[in-house]
Amino acid sequence: MLEIDKQSPLPIYYQIEAYLKQQIDNGTLKPGDVLPSEREFSEQFNVSRMTVRQAIMNLVNSGYLNRQKGRGTFVASQKIAMTLSGLTSFSEEIKHRGMRPYSRLLSFDKVPASERVAQQLRVPNQTPVYEMKRLRLADDIVLALETAYVPVALLPDLTEADVTGSIYEYAEQSGLRLKNATQTLEARSASPEEAELLTISPNAPVLLIDQRTYLEEGDMFEYSRSLFRGDSYSFTVSMERI
């Protein structure tokens, strides 16, 4: 049991943070374990709840813990390591890691392409496109929030039922041949609305990935913007000297 040393030059919140991190690293606290409340910790350590909150938020921001609105604070699962090479779908990546992928459809509409979306898809403004907003899950854990756009002309019979799985698989079964994709990555903080959907704390770190996917013929197939939880993912990029 941790005994707070109030004479130590180390801040009290740091002592609590280091103690909890040690408990996680040595396996005393396991992935999925729920932590006591801030009130219980403050009584246990005889410190203010504000001090406890700072220690816990530091661990949330560093990926050791995650907060789920209305449920509590949990020890984070091991991060999913994604390799940014090769064109694979979210569903294929998750299956490859022995987990069950699932997409929770938030909206599915046919809309005229805005100037930004049209530019990304290389189509005229107002071209009919599908706009699909989905939460991407693995083993019932929310990992990403995705908004994707696909020209209606490429998949004229696409339905809501078809986008609960892999759009790539559906496209290939429809005769389209996917070739490659380019991605732009940007780290930022989650907005309150995004945080609620991703079941993380407001302003928690997320990774925004803009992706443009191409067909064999060189035409654009899809433009997507995905927000990945910073506490659930790590990305590896393979590079060669040129």
Number of domains the chain is built from = 2
Same domain, residue pair 214 and 228: yes
- Predicted confidence (pLDDT) per residue in 135-162, tens digit: 998 877 788 999 999 999 999 999 999 9
Claim to verify: residue 106 and residue 62 sit in the same structural domain: no
Say yes or no: 146 and 198 in one domain.
Answer: yes
Whether the model clears a pTM of 0.75, i.e. scores above it, the answer is: no
Q: Does residue 56 fall inside a structural domain?
A: yes
Instruction: Give the pLDDT confidence score for residue 82 in this predicted structure.
Output: 66
pLDDT band at 79 (very low <50, low <70, confident <90, very high): low
Q: What is the CATH number of the domain that holds 16?
A: 1.10.10.10
Q: Which domain holds residue 194?
A: 80-236
The residue from 75, 92, 122 where one domain ends is: 75
pLDDT band at residue 31 under the 50/70/90 scheme: confident
d(CA 229, CA 61): 11
Q: List the 128-138 sheet strands across, edge first.
A: 101-112, 128-138, 141-151, 220-229, 205-215, 178-189
The answer on 84 and 46 residing in a single domain is no
Beta-carbon contacts of residue 204 (< 8 Å; ≥ 6 apart): 60, 61, 67, 189, 190, 195, 198, 229, 230, 231
